[in-house]
Copies of this chain bind each other. A is one copy, B any other.
Amino acid sequence: MEYTVRLAVKEDCRDIMRMIRELAEYNKQANKVQITEEVLKKDGFGDNPFYKCFVVELCSGQKSKEGFTVVGYALYFIVYSTWEGPFLHLEDLYVMQEFRGTGMGKKLISKVAEVCVERNFSRLQLVALDWNQMAMDFYMKKGAVDLTTSESWHMMRFQGEALKDLALNET
């Protein structure tokens, strides 16, 4: 299977958006996807992009069953630690089901790690769901530390009414 992993361009947003939906379906959360291809274009390819993305593209005229040539993506952005400075957060890592087991996921995360090393960022971070054993195993096997297990880090979120109340300083 011949393929290249390259930085996404604006024209990839249709494929990325399709795969964002596929990943959400895989996580049984398809109804939570609120952004659109247009939003994704604006957010990633304007003057101050919110994210960067690598995609896997099949070579030599190969296509997926449904006729797609872009079959995986890794979307990431810079975050900041007040101890160590900037580093990368990997938001999504996805390879279409028929191409799993070919090393594409490994190649994608490796490219993101390369960006870290090149920019002298000391960390690459991500969030995994502990029922997704395949993902957890993949990351652990590659040497990731699970900070939630080892240091009891909890992800907290304000949204909806709680966020509005917080802004009004009324909680």
A→B interface (CB under 8 Å): 20, 23-24, 29, 32-35, 39-40, 43, 48, 50-51, 75, 77-86, 89, 91-92, 106-107, 109-110, 113-114, 116-117, 122-131, 136, 139, 141-149, 151-169, 171
The reply to whether A110 and B159 form a contact with Cβ atoms under 8 Å apart is no
This chain: copies in complex = 2
Provide a sorted-by-A list of 14 A–B residue pairs whose CB atoms are within 8 angstroms.
A29-B83, A40-B82, A77-B79, A106-B169, A106-B171, A113-B163, A123-B157, A124-B166, A125-B155, A127-B153, A128-B154, A131-B152, A143-B165, A147-B155
User: A167: which B residues are within 8 A, CB to CB?
Assistant: 110, 113-114, 116-117
Chain A, interface SS category: mixed
CA–CA, A84 and B159, complex, Å: 12
Contact of A154 among B33, B85, B141, B149 (CB under 8 A): B149
The reply to whether A84 and B35 form a contact with Cβ atoms under 8 Å apart is yes
The reply to whether A127 and B155 form a contact with Cβ atoms under 8 Å apart is yes
The reply to whether A148 and B154 form a contact with Cβ atoms under 8 Å apart is yes
User: A171: which B residues are within 8 A, CB to CB?
Assistant: 106, 141-143
Contact of A116 among B75, B114, B163 (CB under 8 A): B163
CA–CA, A110 and B169, complex, Å: 5
Known: A34-B85, A35-B82, A127-B154. 17 other contacts (CB 8 A): A20-B82, A33-B82, A33-B83, A34-B83, A34-B84, A75-B82, A110-B169, A117-B164, A117-B167, A122-B160, A125-B155, A126-B156, A127-B156, A136-B154, A145-B159, A147-B157, A148-B155
